């Protein structure tokens, strides 16, 4: 949208002043101008008054000289934040006690204020910089305050008293911002849950839609992670595509069924009309025969009856053939609709499987783990969880492309299926991470199983073009404890996997 010229905004401002019967004061004019322009005007920087203040600022002590230099740079750059920071520094100089004295020192004292260690000040500045993106950009005041604190801490020496005051103000403002962000996220999640529940309620007859609604509800249940959301997004895109295609074909088949039914009804109507006409012809001919007195009068009537009978027989035969054809076509379409419904049901079940590798996804993994945990505790048998992460997967994607990355994931899933036992379960946990559920397995046995899988992968390459590609993985193995749930044991396996990564990759660590 093109920006409106200031002259046009000014004319509308004057009209709005008159229509609202406001006094034409500078403040009223400025407020209405900003309202029409849709932006807030920047107040002019008072260079003259600031220069006058600069000339009378004290600069005898080293600390005052440093602050005076900061103030001079702030005025030259017209930086209100820096001006505020400098004035706070001057105010805190008056609070610094003189060495060996109990009274509060004045601005003329030569005792320099205690300063933050440079390394600690830089750490605090990085902390503020890290917090800022998570708070969003809607709160301009919060953003300006964070930049002010970060700039002050990186401009040594930073007096402790000034830094303490600025950090206290920042933390106070931060508490409100974090509460607001938490409330926004909670409200959005509640709205999403209402939408998903409404989809489930409104789609009682659409089983294919229930899988999506359930998956989205599970994905939007805290704790949220980007890995979970990315995994659900990729899976639902594939499911939605398959379901949309199958749904369109089902709708097309239903429309064809409607057309055939309409043809059937039309043909029945034609048969009824033909029968009515034939009956009328017979009644008329019977009446003529009854009135006839000679054989010559009866002969034409008999010929008309025979002609009508032949036409009726021909119509009946044609109608029978057409109805038989309609019946056969109806049976074919009924079978096609049943097949399409089966495809939709299969698409719904894919909401529990990863479309790329065919393994269980996060929802399918959660269900399988709850089932296996309950079984292990009921039978008193051990249960292990192994979390695998492909080594150097990003480099593989960058060098050979995402198609090769997908091929690597499918290769790992295929080899794992061939190596693992029938009772073991394989799931894609997200991205290049997989989870293997190992029933009746101790930690030592789980480590041995992952080591065997690593050896098997080292002997089996997959081809990407003419290049043989070897993939390896790092894994963490955790045996579930009596007091743990599925999330706890996966978290321990994940931590062990990161230790394996840091130890040199292509390793297996126990949790």
Query: CB-based contacts of 150: which residues, under 8 Å, 6+ apart?
Result: 125, 128, 129
CA distance 314 to 311: 5
Alpha helix positions (H), 38-159:
47-56, 62-77, 80-93, 118-134, 140-153
- The radius of gyration of the chain from alpha carbons, rounded to an integer in Å, stands at 41
Q: Is 432 considered catalytic here?
A: yes
State both tokens at 437.
């559920």
SS3 letters for 375-421?
HHHHHCCCEEEEEEEECCHHHHHHHHCHHHHHHHHHHHHHHHHHHCC
Strand order from edge to edge, sheet including 473-479: 425-430, 433-439, 383-390, 473-479, 508-510
Helix (H, G, I), strand (E, B) or coil at 283: helix
| Residue pointed to by tokens 């004035």 | 87
Helix (H, G, I), strand (E, B) or coil at 480: coil
CA distance 94 to 101: 14
Q: What's the length of the chain?
A: 511
Give the DSSP letter of residue 356: T
Query: CB-based contacts of 300: which residues, under 8 Å, 6+ apart?
Result: none
Q: Which residue in the list 432, 433, 444, 484 is annotated as catalytic?
A: 432
Looking at beta carbons, which pairs linking 193-202 to residues 24 or more positions away fall under 8 Å? 193/217, 193/220, 196/220
Q: Which residues pair with 478 in a beta bridge?
A: 385
Q: What is the DSSP string of 177-241?
A: HHHHHHHHHHHHHHHHHHHHHHHHHHTSS-HHHHHHHHHHHHHTSSSP-HHHHHHHHHHHHHHHH
| Residue pointed to by tokens 């097309």 | 252
Q: What is the DSSP string of 115-150?
A: B--HHHHHHHHHHHHHHHHHT-SS-HHHHHHHHHHH
CA distance 377 to 284: 90
CA distance 376 to 147: 54
Looking only at the bridges linking them, the beta strands covering 433-439 and 425-430 are antiparallel
Looking at beta carbons, which pairs linking 455-460 to residues 24 or more positions away fall under 8 Å? 456/415, 456/418, 456/419, 457/412, 457/415, 460/411, 460/415
Report the catalytic residues.
Answer: 432
């Amino acid at each position: 949208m093109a920006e409106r010229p200031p002259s046009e905004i000014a004319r509308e401002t004057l009209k709005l002043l008159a229509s609202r019967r406001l006094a034409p004061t500078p403040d009223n004019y400025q407020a209405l101008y900003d309202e029409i322009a849709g932006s807030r005007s920047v107040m002019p920087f008072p260079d003259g008054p600031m220069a006058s203040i600069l000339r009378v600022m004290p600069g005898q002590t080293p600390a005052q000289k440093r602050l005076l230099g900061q103030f001079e740079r702030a005025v030259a750059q017209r930086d209100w934040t820096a001006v505020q920071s400098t004035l706070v520094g001057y105010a805190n100089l008056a609070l610094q006690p003189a060495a060996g004295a109990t009274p509060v020192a004045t601005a003329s004292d030569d005792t320099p204020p205690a300063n933050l260690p440079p390394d600690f000040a830089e750490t605090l500045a990085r902390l503020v910089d890290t917090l800022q993106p998570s708070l969003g950009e809607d709160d301009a005041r919060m953003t300006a305050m964070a930049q002010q604190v970060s700039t002050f801490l990186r401009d040594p020496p930073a007096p402790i008293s000034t830094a303490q005051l600025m950090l206290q103000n920042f933390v106070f403002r931060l508490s409100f911002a974090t509460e607001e962000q938490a409330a926004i996220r909670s409200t959005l999640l509640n709205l999403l849950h209402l939408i998903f529940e409404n989809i489930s309620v409104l789609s009682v007859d659409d089983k294919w839609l229930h899988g999506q609604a359930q998956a989205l509800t599970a994905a939007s249940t805290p704790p949220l992670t980007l890995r979970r959301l990315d995994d659900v997004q990729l899976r639902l895109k594939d499911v939605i595509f398959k379901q949309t295609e199958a749904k369109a074909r089902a709708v097309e088949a239903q429309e064809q069924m409607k057309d055939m039914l309409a043809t059937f009804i039309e043909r029945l109507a034609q048969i009824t009309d033909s029968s009515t006409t034939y009956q009328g012809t017979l009644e008329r001919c019977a009446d003529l025969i009854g009135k006839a007195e000679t054989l010559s009068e009866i002969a034409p009537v008999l010929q008309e009856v025979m002609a009508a009978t032949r036409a009726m027989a021909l119509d009946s035969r044609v109608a029978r053939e057409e109805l038989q054809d309609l019946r056969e076509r109806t049976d074919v379409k009924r079978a096609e609709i049943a097949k399409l419904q089966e495809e939709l049901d299969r698409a719904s079940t894919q909401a529990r499987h990863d479309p790329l590798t065919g393994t269980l996804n996060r929802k399918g993994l959660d269900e399988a783990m709850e089932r296996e945990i309950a079984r292990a505790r009921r039978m008193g048998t051990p249960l292990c969880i192994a979390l695998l992460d492909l080594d150097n997967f990003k480099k593989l994607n960058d060098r050979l492309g995402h198609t090769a990355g997908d091929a690597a994931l499918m290769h790992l899933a295929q080899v794992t299926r061939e190596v693992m036992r029938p009772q073991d379960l394989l799931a894609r946990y997200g991205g290049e991470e997989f989870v293997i559920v190992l029933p009746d397995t101790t930690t030592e046995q789980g480590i041995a199983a992952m080591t065997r899988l690593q050896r098997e992968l080292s002997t089996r390459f997959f081809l990407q073009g003419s290049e043989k590609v070897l993939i390896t993985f790092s894994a963490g193995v955790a045996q579930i404890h009596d007091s743990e749930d599925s999330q706890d044991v996966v978290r321990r396996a994940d931590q062990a996997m990161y230790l394996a990564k840091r130890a040199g990759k292509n390793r297996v660590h126990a949790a």
